[in-house]
Chains A and B, each alone.
Chain A
């Protein structure tokens, strides 16, 4: 057991730290459009310096970073309070899927503009009737003159209004068992047959959208991984979404916890034994997330397979972040609901943590079935 970084890993971290220190673009400007342009510019800067898509192979513009380097990257980006990148779904999910399942032509066509944020990607998986039971989705794609014609509705599509490409899973075979009849497409968002409507959340913001698709056309060459393989291809993207995320999230929790400690001092509650117990417990849970993720990483490096550990840490993170924002509200006392800081936003936004990227209930099913080997009811 050796929990220190190797000299190479330390060098990687130091190089990244130094670069972030010299290139941090400062605060994101107010307003949705200005903010998005800012994120695009930041991603271009990262890409030019070789810090975008670091897990991708070098031949496709990445760094071929090891899993530990990816973990370090996620930690350092959060620690430096660097801005978000514009094309997060393209980098984390779209690119890896094209690399894993795409044809050489698709790799040549799609990968570079993902890295540079020239083309933004969004994800068309969930539907109003298909959330946790994703494989039951009904959006249908029918072959017509060499093209696929798609009709249906998608929901929770982040960045849809900015996106050029949508990672779309649609049903191409209605007679096959539900997991077998799906196909993974790259759909051009720039067509009239695709309508984007913002979805307003309890925070008042519109981070997400609904997609209404009425006979949109997708050329056959935009199928990824073969007709009928959509479920398998989509699962890869979900794995990519969960793996490695924990390292950045635990740093985020530590930063937030520092802010909660400050808040407790401001409100004269830093000596309150109940508050102290709660803060300590949150700190311990953040550390448990980091350490569980590190143990998971060691296992992946040994076996080559991402295990269900990602499910465990994502579930723990949502519990911890919700408890943290609730504690901040508790400390604020009668003033808590007043919108005079970002705590009210963070408190409300945290309610989605246990739903987005796999509900806690589904994650518990995964742990129960795949780790503990308990029987499935379905």
Chain B
């Protein structure tokens, strides 16, 4: 047993950390968020590094690595709250790779891997209001999931209507379409992998929010000493660490299960998404509390982490929905129909 990254995985992580620190500096993230735009040249750079296709099979133009390697990237992207279509495009690729036919893979995966014809994924709500889809305006195609079935639709054939959310780092639209090309294989397995990739992003958001709190608590003086010396503050930070680390352990485990123990993936993915969804809001929220008034200002960068964390928590299955699935799969059986 070895619960740590291999040298190759470690190299992916440090390259990503370094690259993203120089490209998504806080002022850049703020500029992109406030203008509601992505930087196309940054996307081209990521594509040159082979990131969009990291998990896509080599025959379709990817690197043929696993979900765990994808999680390493989404965690690092979350760590800087990068405004980027990376996650939505990866989600579409995972759905097509796991649920699509050979022809569908042939058609859509090369564009996902090269980053030149991106996709995205939305989950159709129970109220028939159309799916809330990230990055839909910029995507060539969208995978719409409705219960246990999914279709792939060219975005040009769908109705796409921009909606405002609290997350300025990522644009959302309502998307509806009739028809579409059904994905006939493992829809649930594809969605599980999407949930794990998103959990990775939430781990990164939580980690950075924790670090911001700790740095501030060491620096900020009140009553003549750093506020981190007070247990009311330091225990809050310890709680953040516990939640961030637990989200990380559950997410890495789920990524590993996706690649090496698929029979454990359903429970592992729902555990990771449920826990990370809570942590992705609670850790930034505690961090805001440690920051006090300054953390509530528009000028402080913590807002991007808190709002993206809360929005991510509700994307691709809420914590409540994933916990219900854990209950079903671990011994309580399916919930009775309401």
Contacts and interface: CB of A to CB of B under 8 A. Distances in A.
Interface of A: 1-6, 9, 68, 257-258, 261, 264, 270-271, 273, 276-277, 279-281, 283-285, 287-288, 291-292, 294-295, 297-299, 302, 312, 315-316, 361, 364-365, 367-369, 371-377
B331 interface: yes
Contacts of A297: 1, 3
A375 B231 CA distance: 10
B2 A298 contact: yes
Given A285-B246, A295-B245, A361-B235, 13 more contacts: A3-B260, A264-B332, A271-B336, A276-B324, A277-B323, A280-B324, A283-B326, A283-B330, A294-B3, A295-B4, A364-B234, A369-B234, A375-B228
B327 interface: yes
B1 A284 contact: no
A277 B241 CA distance: 23
Nearest to B251: A291
A371 B271 CA distance: 25
Contacts of A374: 214, 217-218, 226, 228-229, 234, 237
A203 B248 CA distance: 37
In this complex, the member of B214, B271, B332 whose beta carbon has the largest number of chain A beta carbons within 10 angstroms is B332
A294 B250 CA distance: 11
Contact of A372 (B68, B238, B331, B332): B238
Interface string B264-299: 000000010011000000000000000000000000
B63 to A, nearest CB: 17
25 contacts: A1-B3, A1-B5, A3-B256, A271-B336, A276-B323, A276-B335, A277-B323, A280-B326, A280-B330, A284-B271, A288-B250, A291-B3, A291-B252, A292-B245, A294-B249, A295-B252, A364-B231, A365-B231, A368-B234, A368-B237, A369-B234, A371-B241, A374-B234, A374-B237, A375-B218
A361 B231 CA distance: 9
Nearest to B331: A261
Contacts of B252: 1, 291, 295
Contact of A377 (B68, B231, B241): B231
Q: Which 6 A-B pairs have the closest CB atoms?
A: A291-B249, A368-B234, A280-B323, A288-B246, A280-B326, A374-B228
B1 A298 contact: yes
User: Which of B1, B68, B228, B235 gathers the greatest number of chain A CB atoms within 10 Å?
Assistant: B1
A275 to B, nearest CB: 9
Decide if the interface of chain A is mainly helix, strand, loop or mixed: helix
B225 interface: yes
Interface string B296-337: 000000000000000000000000100110110011110110
Contacts of A68: 1
The B interface is mostly helix, strand or loop, or mixed, namely: helix
A315 B1 contact: no
A297 B234 CA distance: 25
Contacts of A2: 1-2, 260
B249 A373 contact: no
Highest count of chain B CB atoms <10 Å: which of A5, A280, A283, A294: A280
Interface in B18-71: 68
Interface of B: 1-6, 9, 68, 214, 217-218, 225-226, 228-231, 234-235, 237-239, 241-242, 245-246, 249-250, 252-253, 256, 260-261, 271, 274-275, 320, 323-324, 326-327, 330-333, 335-336
Contacts of A6: 1
Nearest to B210: A372
Given A287-B271, A374-B214, A376-B229, A3 B250 contact: no
A365 B228 CA distance: 11
Contacts of A295: 3-4, 245, 249, 252
Contacts of A281: 274, 323
B242 A316 contact: yes
B6 A279 contact: no
Contacts of B256: 1, 3
A109 to B, nearest CB: 37
Contacts of B335: 271, 273, 276
A365 B320 CA distance: 32
B274 A375 contact: no
B70 to A, nearest CB: 14
Nearest to A5: B1
A284 B271 CA distance: 6
Nearest to B324: A276
Contact of B2 (A1, A276, A372): A1
B229 A375 contact: yes
Contact of B327 (A4, A277, A298, A315): A277
Contacts of A361: 231, 235
Given A1-B9, A271-B335, A292-B245, A373 B214 contact: yes
B332 A368 contact: no
Nearest to A260: B331
Contacts of B231: 361, 364-365, 368, 377
A297 B228 CA distance: 29
Given A264-B332, A270-B332, A277-B324, A291 B68 contact: no
A60 B143 CA distance: 63
Given A276-B327, A284-B250, A284-B274, A3 B3 contact: yes
A348 B250 CA distance: 30
Contacts of B235: 361, 364-365, 368
A257 B327 CA distance: 11
A291 B250 contact: yes
B229 A377 contact: yes
B179 to A, nearest CB: 35
Nearest to A372: B214
A160 B49 CA distance: 65
A284 B326 contact: yes
A9 B228 CA distance: 43
A23 B5 CA distance: 39
From B226, B246, B256, B274, name the one whose CB has the most chain A CB atoms within 10 angstroms: B246
Nearest to B217: A374
B89 to A, nearest CB: 25
A359 to B, nearest CB: 12
A302 B235 CA distance: 28
A279 B218 contact: no
Nearest to A299: B4
